[in-house]
Amino acid sequence: MPAATLLDAILDANRRRADGDASACADLAPGAVPFVVSCMDPRLNGRLLPALGLEGVEVPQAKFAGATVRPGDDAAARSVLAAAIFNLATEVIVVGHADCRMGKFSSSSVRDGMARLGVRPEALGGREPAEWLGTFSSGRSSVVASVEALRAHPAVPAGVPVHGLLFRLEDGRAEVVVRGYGAPVPAASAAAPSPGAYASAGPVFRPGPVTLDSIPTPTFGGPGPAGPFLAPGSVDLGASAPPPPLLGPAPSGFGPTPHPVADRPPAYAAPPPPLPTPPSAPSRKPAKGETPFDRAHRTLDRLRRDKGP
């Protein structure tokens, strides 16, 4: 039986993995796709996703130093929005980890490193180097701050849950720092239309467990098909809309009207008959004792006779 939520399924698989079940996988509901934001630490490569029970799952990912997302971070918000649009990601999981090197650098060590690499302080726009780089003193508080920064960004869909985990390298266990279900809508999204306003534009996502039984077919050239507002706890996209007709008048702004089928070349044409094979010249056995030099002279004499005076 699938877990109650996507996050619960991942946590259950992580617990079983840490307890020794190397084959444990997250029992994700159909259509549930997590988007994982993690640290770029190479020690996580090939280890984090299997530990979360996501081995073999096509999971979109973004990696930042320390898994740190700061307020107004367009790069992180762009990745979340792209994952939601192109990968159909339904939830975001920010995964920090213990023993992160970004939590061990002081301001002086950052300045020394910049000087060694030839980066002048003016390149940071007057900001303190350690703050600009995103170092932190607590991995837990960094995860909380990153989750809040994503929630507050206007480009991150308000209905996509954003969770925060802290991963331990020594034993592979993940601890919940932020559970994103039922989180308050950020102030930037407070002016969002009411549920009824979405009735003509299609379904709207809200925090909660997600089950996508079918993917709707978009309708081009006009508003989307009417759909119910989806309350927290479940998502049902219903039957997909039929694709637009191939012929007939094109929607406004999409170019000229297609030609009727009669004016189009047939989709299949019979291949042309093969060309006749030219008759091969009769072969002649070389005379006894004839050398290749003699045969070449004989061939030249025949060509001169064929050409004529």
For the cut 90, the answer to whether the pLDDT of residue 172 exceeds it is yes
Arithmetic mean of pLDDT, 29-44: 95
Q: How far apart are CA 96 and CA 135, in angstroms?
A: 13
Would the pTM count as exceeding 0.75? Answer: no
Please check whether residue 28 lies inside any domain of the structure. Answer: yes
Residue with tokens 């025949």: 302
250 found inside a domain: no
Please give the average per-residue pLDDT across 104-122, as a whole number: 87
Report residue 239's pLDDT band, with 50, 70 and 90 as the boundaries. very low
Q: What are phi and psi of 209, to 5 degrees?
A: -60, 140
Q: What is the CATH number of the domain that holds 86?
A: 3.40.1050.10
Place 150 in a pLDDT band, splitting at 50, 70 and 90.
Answer: very high
Percent of the chain with pLDDT over 90: 46
- Closest C-alpha to 247, from 234, 232, 263, 224: 263
Q: Is residue 152 part of a domain?
A: yes
Task: Decide if 244 is inside a domain.
Answer: no
Residue 300 counted as domain residue:
no
Q: Is residue 120 one of the residues assigned to a domain?
A: no
Which two structure tokens, joined as six digits, stand for 193?
């239309």
235 domain-assigned: no
Classified as helix, coil or strand, 65 is: helix
Range of the domain at 53: 6-101+146-185
Q: Which residue has the tokens 């969002």?
A: 192
Q: Which of 93, 97, 61 is nearest to 172 (CA)?
A: 97
3-state SS assignment for residue 116 = helix
Split into its structural domains, the chain has a count of 1
Q: CA 145, CA 139: separation in Å to the nearest integer?
A: 10
Nearest to 166 by CA among 100, 101, 96, 92: 96
Q: 3-state DSSP call for residue 191?
A: coil
Structure token digits, residue 34: 């997590």
Has residue 56 been placed in a domain?
Answer: yes
Q: Using CA atoms, how far apart are residues 229 and 225, in angstroms rounded to an integer?
A: 12
For the cut 80, the answer to whether the pLDDT of residue 44 exceeds it is yes
Contact 14, 173 (CB under 8 A): yes
Query: Is residue 172 packed enough to be buried (19+ CB in 10 Å), middle (13-18) or exposed (0-12)?
Result: middle
What would the mean pLDDT of 246-266 be, rounded to a whole number?
46
Phi and psi (nearest 5°) for 86?
-95, -30
